[in-house]
Amino acid sequence: MTESSIVAAQEKLVSDLKSVIADAEDMLHATADEAGDRVAGLRARITDRLHDARLRLAEAEAVLLDKTRKAAKATDQYVHESPWQSVGIGVGLGFLLGFILGRR
């Protein structure tokens, strides 16, 4: 797996986790007026787990943001150190993409 595909997979995971947390919070709010010891215990466990999930999600987002910044910095540094190679790579990729799309 390349670095960009890893970052994309991590971004998707973070997005999916945010959705799951939001759905679980909605479910907790919808069952707020339910009574009973069993329901109260379950709500307490879910609340604790959601709190832990939010913390881990924040840590994962911080790591992902750091990796993204490092990749952008490395790319910027490479382009500044080798501008003509960068232009050549861009032209080559543009030509290849145009050729592929032109065949459709």
Q: What is the DSSP string of 69-83?
A: HHHHHHHHHHHHH-H
User: Which pLDDT band, with edges at 50, 70 and 90, does 1 fall under?
Assistant: low
The answer to whether 13 and 60 are in contact (CB under 8 A) is: yes
Per-residue pLDDT tens over the stretch 49-79: 888 888 888 888 888 888 888 888 888 888 8
Residue 59 token pair: 């840590």
- Read off the amino acid at residue 24: A
Q: What percent of the chain has pLDDT over 70?
A: 95
Q: Which two tokens stand for residue 93?
A: 């990729």
Which pLDDT score is estimated for 33? 75
* Res. 89 pLDDT band, cuts 50 70 90: confident
Q: Is the pLDDT of residue 34 over 80?
A: no
Token pair of 24 as six digits: 């679980």
Q: At what angle do helices 3-30 and 37-81 cross, to 10 degrees?
A: 160
The yes-or-no verdict on residue 36 having pLDDT over 80 is: no
What is the pTM (predicted TM-score) of this model? Answer: 0.52
